[in-house]
């Protein structure tokens, strides 16, 4: 699995090795080929605000942006692993820290949630409609709970 991660966030608490392990866990659980490509970029609020305007035409920094490449979908446990370029995820740890505090959990937990959310978006999941929201957030909770149960 080719997981590339770059930290340009300027925050000191981000554990990029842990994020790489989580990404590997997610891709395995979603039955993607070990050579599937995923890029993760951590940015500061200024860069996230710029990207948010450029790609979503919305002001201010957001928590996560996902840019799918090969329109991959999760595989089947009984079938062959899905190959290709999954895409890029951009995370903003400063926004994640505030959201985690507001939600009553650690910034690291919020960042793990956002990475999970971003991967699901790369695989075509959405939450615009109530039924889509229910499916995506149920899978997100299942994957995040599984990851948080993995011994560090």
**Sequential DSSP letters for 21-84:** HHHHHHHHHTTB-TT-EEEEEEE-HHHHHHHHHHHH---S--SEEEEESS------TTSPPB-S
Instruction: Give percent above pLDDT 70 in the chain.
Output: 99
Average pLDDT over residues 126-136: 95
Residue pLDDT, tens place only, 33-53:
878 899 999 999 999 999 999
150 Cβ contact list (under 8 Å, min separation 6):
25
Examine the pLDDT at 58 and tell me if it is beyond 90: yes
CA angle 120, 105, 131 (to 5 degrees): 35
Supply the pLDDT for residue 78.
86
Domain that holds residue 83: 2-149
> 116: domain CATH number?
3.40.390.30
Examine the pLDDT at 1 and tell me if it is beyond 90: no
Per-residue exposure over 9-46, b if at least 16 CB sit within 10 Å of its own CB, e if not: beeeebeeeebbebbeebbebbbbbeebbbbbbbbbbe
**Maximum Cα interatomic distance, the chain, rounded to a whole number of Å:** 44
Tokens 């949630």 correspond to: 113
Q: How far apart (Å, rounded) are the C-alpha atoms in residues 146 and 137? A: 14
Q: How many domains does the chain have?
A: 1
Give the full edge-to-edge strand order of the sheet including 37-43: 2-8, 37-43, 85-91, 64-68
What is the pTM for the complete model shown?
Answer: 0.95
Mean of pLDDT over the chain: 95
Residue pLDDT, tens place only, 71-117:
889 988 888 788 899 999 999 999 999 999 999 999 999 999 999 99
């Amino acid at each position: 699995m080719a997981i590339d991660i770059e930290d340009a966030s300027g925050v000191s608490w981000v554990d990029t090795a842990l994020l790489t392990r989580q990404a590997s866990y997610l891709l395995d659980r979603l039955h993607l080929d070990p050579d599937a490509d995923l890029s993760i970029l951590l940015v500061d609020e200024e860069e996230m605000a710029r990207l948010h305007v450029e790609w979503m035409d919305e002001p201010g920094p957001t928590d996560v942006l996902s840019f799918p490449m090969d329109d991959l979908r999760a595989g089947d446990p009984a079938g062959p692993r899905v190959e290709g370029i999954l895409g890029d995820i951009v995370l903003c740890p400063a926004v994640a820290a505030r959201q985690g505090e507001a939600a009553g959990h650690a910034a690291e937990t919020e960042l793990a949630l956002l990475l999970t959310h971003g991967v699901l978006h790369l695989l075509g999941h959405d939450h615009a409609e109530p039924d889509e929201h229910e499916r995506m957030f149920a899978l997100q909770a299942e994957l995040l709970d599984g990851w948080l149960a993995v011994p560090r």
